Structure 1
Amino acid sequence: MVEADIETYAAEAGLAARQNRWADAERLWRTVRALDPNHPQALYSLAMHAWQRGELTEALELSALANVAAPNDPMISLSRAIFLRDSGDSSGELAAIDDTLKIDAYYLPALIAKAVFFEGQGQKTTAAILYRNALKVAPPEAHWPQSLRPQLLHARQMERAYSAAFYEHLICELGTEIQALGGHDSGRWTEASSIMAGRSKPYLADCNQLYIPRMPAIPFYDRSAFSWVSDLEAQTAAIRDELQTALNNSAGKFTPYIEYAPGAPVNQWANLNHSRNWSTFKLWSSGTPVHENLDQCPNTQAALEAVELADIDGLCPNAMFSCLAPHTEIPPHHGETNARLIVHLPLIVPENCIYRVGFETRQWEVGKTLIFDDTLEHTARNDSDQLRVVLIFDIWNPLLSPHERDLVRGLAKAARSFNFD
């Protein structure tokens, strides 16, 4: 009978607390303790009531008893850190936090409390690292506990400030040596500094179809390494004229780049699915020439035929005019295979247009090619009030030998002939 009474009083006390009837809650918890002097929840709750009244000695005494009654409860253990903090006992506060983490090394409130402690001590570096650890343990932001949201927002702000300052320090110390490398090597060590500082994470190649292992993932390739670049760029004006004619006379041939069937999971493409905000005028599509469009663009066709396009069964070459509408963003995504590279020849580029591949961000310049590995996460933005258009096509990854190209074709063909029926 007593046990049933304890459960009833405890439930009533919890309800009173949720309804902010603090006096009733405290009275009910005292009743529970009278029936069971070692009831952990009663001891903890009465300690919290004492703390709220400023009775820190009583709060510490009750929390010590609660800790003995429930030695593996991290919430009770952490409450002692709060009472010791308000008592001015810094060493005791830190010891109580550490005791809590011995119970549960991933207890988020204790991880935050430890970071707050060191921030209050003026040890910002230690605090920032602890905030970073707390954020790693925390769930995604949409699922942050409401009671911890302000602390987690502050943790993120501190962690970002720390990462930015750490990165600036590394660049200040090594920037001259990094820049002396030039080109691709310079970008690699700038990114290495950013990763070390926690400012960014490594960008890894991720292919939707055919992945060739043990190939370096290089965001942007040096234009000078490709003999055909200068001839292609010399045709920019002629290609742009054909684009403009197509825009004026064949607008209906520009189709959405993203066209998922109804019922298919669209993931990050929801805003662009079947949208003309990102549209294309196809010249080659998955290895098949689009003759009616090519016939309208003889100079573009000739310029592309002078380049050794990648040809992989059912996959490429692809070539198109790619149009990005004003104030449109292409979300981060990955390409189909690292056996190829992607080439952009910018044709219409208003201000405030940027392109990111992995860690590196570039701005398109009319007539200046960008050659990149699209299996690294990449994204584009047009923040202007005008249309942005680039010519896009595929070339072979130059790190593959001719024999390996044959193997790529063979793999793609074999994959398409496979039948598990």
Structure 2
Amino acid sequence: MTLSSQEANARGLAALKAGDAAAAARLFEQAAAADPQAGSLWRNLAHAHRVLGDDPAERRALESALERDQRDISALVRLAESHERNGASRDAMIRWSAVIQLGEQIAAPAPALVEILDHARAYCRTQQAAIARQVESAFGARRAGLEQTPGRRAGAFLDHVLGQRRIYPNQCAGLYYPFLPADEFFDDRHFPWFEALAARTPAIRAELEALLGDPGEDLRPYVRMDKGVSGSQWDALNDNLDWSACFLWEYGRPNQPVLDRCPETAAALAAVPGARIPGRAPSAFFSMLRPHTRIPPHTGVTNSRAIIHLPLIVPPDCGFRVGGETREWVEGRPFAFDDTIEHEAWNDSSVMRAVLIFDVWNPHLTEEEQGIVADYCRMIDSVTDSSAPDAAASAAGAL
């Protein structure tokens, strides 16, 4: 006698209750054959096979349920549990990850589902950590043997594929130069003058300390928003000396009184092969961050430049993140980064932090390309001055 799917399912449930899992499995197979689109019937069949200890048959039934509905979270959970029980860690991670993805879309999950999601996350973390250890064992020595840039890129690649690192794109508020590498930190080899700059650190720091002893009006808040502008992440720092600056050069204009007070710093900057664009570059300043102050994540103006930091006063508990890489400043050790990649800084210590900051050309630009950028800026500035300032300025962006 041929049973309907409902009749076969009801008899299968009765057989399960009576302890006859084999009969239940036969009845659920009939039910699923009669109504193959009903995921609940495949789940019932999987449960009967689980009671029988037939793991492969259980998984086949659950996969049949998922063929009908990939969002069947009950089937996903039970399939993940099956793979986990049988030590198939890769398949278990794939299924638990799908459970997490679906579960996070549920606004108010039931307590039982919350417990399942907690287990899924813990299992995935454990497996990811095990994979990361294997990757480090297999590739750690190879990475260490690479030069600075390929070593950093290889590390970012491995961290990214392991789900441990986000890759950040350029976000330029002004001029964007296409096809330059979107690298967070530039290789030191691009700046052969770093060693000479580092050697001047004690003298530059001494000049800064003397300047801070009597700064006058040259020390000012770094963030100075137009009146009536508010509601942004910069409100807390607006007109606030928690993040202050003392400019030696600002948009290509020298601050001669400060340069005169800081001859060693002025000489160090003069020795750097930086951009010279009237009204735009260079900019160079001492940047001071008071204790317990944070600079929120933000991006800069143009990827045609590199930003140099020369750390001068660095207490513990200070940090600097560009994209997915966080560094500690080390006094006297300069580095360069692309500020059009999201970055932030903090001083969680009880002492002021101070860094000399200035800009130079992006080292991936050729001299010819530097000339094109500089000449474009000069041309557009002359247009801005003589004809349509608002439209030209908007089109040009800023360097």
TM range (shorter): 0.7 to 0.9
Matches within 5 A, 1:153-172: 153-172=118-137
Q: Which residue pairs with 2:174 in the alignment?
A: 209
- Determine which of 116, 119, 144 is the counterpart of 1:179: 144
Matches within 5 A, 1:323-362: 323-362=288-327
- Determine which of 54, 76, 79 is the counterpart of 1:114: 79
What is the alpha-carbon distance in structure 1 between the residues aligned to residue 240 and residue 315 of structure 2? 21
Q: Which residue pairs with 1:28 in the alignment?
A: none
Q: Report the Cα offset of residue 408 of structure 1.
A: 1.9
Q: Report the Cα offset of residue 392 of structure 1.
A: 0.7
Q: 1:238 to 1:356 in 2, by over 3 A?
A: same
- Determine which of 332, 355, 358 is the counterpart of 1:390: 355
Q: After superposing the two structures, state which structure 1 stretch, 315-324 or 103-112, moved more.
A: 103-112
Q: After superposing the two structures, state which structure 1 stretch, 389-398 or 305-314, moved more.
A: 305-314
Instruction: Note the residue ranges of structure 1 that are not aligned, 5 or more in a row.
Output: 1-37
In structure 2, what residue type is equivalent to 1:182?
A: E
In structure 2, what residue type is equivalent to 1:255?
A: P
Measured against aligned partners, the alpha-carbon deviations of 1:292-348 in whole angstroms (never above 9, x if no partner) come to: 554543432332222233345765422222223334444443332221101000000
- Determine which of 301, 310, 313 is the counterpart of 2:266: 301
Q: After superposing the two structures, state which structure 1 stretch, 351-360 or 332-341, moved more.
A: 351-360
Q: Which residue pairs with 1:321 in the alignment?
A: 286
Matches within 5 A, 1:104-143: 104-107=69-72, 110-135=75-100, 139=104
1:219 aligns with 2:184: yes
Q: Report the Cα offset of residue 404 of structure 1.
A: 1.0
Contact 1:56 1:83 in 2 (8 A): no
What is the alpha-carbon distance in structure 2 between the residues aligned to residue 381 and residue 224 of structure 1? 27
Q: 1:231 to 1:180 in 2, by over 3 A?
A: closer
Measured against aligned partners, the alpha-carbon deviations of 1:99-156 in whole angstroms (never above 9, x if no partner) come to: 332233245554444333322333223222333344455658x957465444334333
- Determine which of 332, 336, 340 is the counterpart of 1:371: 336
Q: Which residue pairs with 1:194 in the alignment?
A: 159
SS in 2 for 1:394: strand
What is the alpha-carbon distance in structure 1 between the residues aligned to residue 278 and residue 52 of structure 2? 74
Measured against aligned partners, the alpha-carbon deviations of 1:232-255 in whole angstroms (never above 9, x if no partner) come to: 223222221232233333386230
1:255 aligns with 2:221: yes
Q: Report the Cα offset of residue 213 of structure 1.
A: 1.9
Q: 1:86 to 1:241 in 2, by over 3 A?
A: farther
Contact 1:260 1:273 in 2 (8 A): no
SS in 1 for 2:151: helix
Matches within 5 A, 1:276-295: 276-291=241-256, 293-295=258-260
What root-mean-square deviation, in Å, do the aligned CA atoms of Structure 1 and Structure 2 show? 4.4
In structure 2, what residue type is equivalent to 1:161?
A: T
Q: Which residue pairs with 1:266 in the alignment?
A: 232
Q: 1:70 to 1:254 in 2, by over 3 A?
A: farther
Contact 1:164 1:197 in 2 (8 A): no
In structure 2, what residue type is equivalent to 1:266?
A: S
In structure 2, what residue type is equivalent to 1:207?
A: C
Contact 1:327 1:382 in 2 (8 A): yes
Contact 2:301 2:340 in 1 (8 A): yes
SS in 2 for 1:181: coil
What is the alpha-carbon distance in structure 2 between the residues aligned to residue 96 and residue 144 of structure 1? 29
Q: Report the Cα offset of residue 277 of structure 1.
A: 3.7
What is the alpha-carbon distance in structure 1 between the residues aligned to residue 62 and residue 162 of structure 2? 27
Contact 2:221 2:242 in 1 (8 A): no
In structure 1, what residue type is equivalent to 2:160?
A: I
Q: Report the Cα offset of residue 390 of structure 1.
A: 0.7
Measured against aligned partners, the alpha-carbon deviations of 1:248-270 in whole angstroms (never above 9, x if no partner) come to: 33386230447486555625x56
What is the alpha-carbon distance in structure 2 between the residues aligned to residue 284 and residue 113 of structure 1? 65
What is the alpha-carbon distance in structure 1 between the residues aligned to residue 148 and residue 259 of structure 2? 36
Measured against aligned partners, the alpha-carbon deviations of 1:352-373 in whole angstroms (never above 9, x if no partner) come to: 3333334444322211111122
Percent of matched pairs sharing the same residue: 35
Measured against aligned partners, the alpha-carbon deviations of 1:25-51 in whole angstroms (never above 9, x if no partner) come to: xxxxxxxxxxxxx99xxxx9x9xx99x
What is the alpha-carbon distance in structure 1 between the residues aligned to residue 40 and residue 240 of structure 2? 51
SS in 2 for 1:204: coil
Q: Report the Cα offset of residue 86 of structure 1.
A: 6.8
Contact 2:103 2:109 in 1 (8 A): no
Relative contact order (alpha carbons < 8 A, sep ≥ 6): 1 or 2 greater? Answer: 2
Q: Report the Cα offset of residue 165 of structure 1.
A: 2.5
SS in 2 for 1:160: helix
Q: Report the Cα offset of residue 374 of structure 1.
A: 2.4
Measured against aligned partners, the alpha-carbon deviations of 1:51-94 in whole angstroms (never above 9, x if no partner) come to: xx99998x999999998999767688667766875786644543
In structure 1, what residue type is equivalent to 2:185?
A: F
Instruction: Note the residue ranges of structure 2 that are not aligned, 5 or more in a row.
Output: none
What is the alpha-carbon distance in structure 1 between the residues aligned to residue 240 and residue 36 of structure 2? 59
What is the alpha-carbon distance in structure 1 between the residues aligned to residue 211 and residue 44 of structure 2? 70
What is the alpha-carbon distance in structure 1 between the residues aligned to residue 49 and residue 226 of structure 2? 59
Q: 1:385 to 1:143 in 2, by over 3 A?
A: farther
TM-score for the superposition, normalised by structure 2: 0.74
In structure 2, what residue type is equivalent to 1:278?
A: W
In structure 2, what residue type is equivalent to 1:406?
A: G
What is the alpha-carbon distance in structure 2 between the residues aligned to residue 263 and residue 326 of structure 1? 26
What is the alpha-carbon distance in structure 2 between the residues aligned to residue 285 and residue 244 of structure 1? 20
Contact 1:266 1:273 in 2 (8 A): no
In structure 2, what residue type is equivalent to 1:380?
A: A
What is the alpha-carbon distance in structure 1 between the residues aligned to residue 64 and residue 228 of structure 2? 55
Number of matched pairs = 377
Q: 1:92 to 1:247 in 2, by over 3 A?
A: farther
What is the alpha-carbon distance in structure 1 between the residues aligned to residue 239 and residue 27 of structure 2? 64
